[in-house]
Amino acid sequence: MTETTYLILLSLYRPNHGYGIMKFIKQETDDRVLLGAGTLYGALNSLLSKGWIHLYDEDSHNKKTYLITNEGKQIVENELKRLNQLCKTSRKIIREEADSYGED
């Protein structure tokens, strides 16, 4: 899963619209990840087709609000487990390398 997809899913644990999603990601990554509208809406369409999010609401001005589905939440939890395992493996290898060369 891409970081962008993961962040979009996290932003949708509460109902959110396109601009709110972009703002959430910008804020939570300290401006490291900035999404353009094309990237965001392409990703939202993909997530909708996979069933990981659903359209929560649409107002009279065509402003759409999305929310993560239970399937989407399971996907996020599985990705979090994968990322935690990756971090655990990374820390182990880095620590072993530092120890083998007498570094602190």
Side-by-side strand order, sheet with 64-68: 16-17, 64-68, 53-58
SS3 state of residue 104 = coil
Cα separation of 81 and 75, whole Å?
10
How many structural domains does the chain have?
Answer: 1
The enclosing domain of 85 has a CATH number of: 1.10.10.10
What pTM was estimated for this model as a whole?
Answer: 0.87
**Full residue range of the structural domain in which residue 65 is found:** 3-100
Digit-coded pLDDT (tens) for 66-102: 999 999 999 999 999 999 999 999 999 998 877 777 6
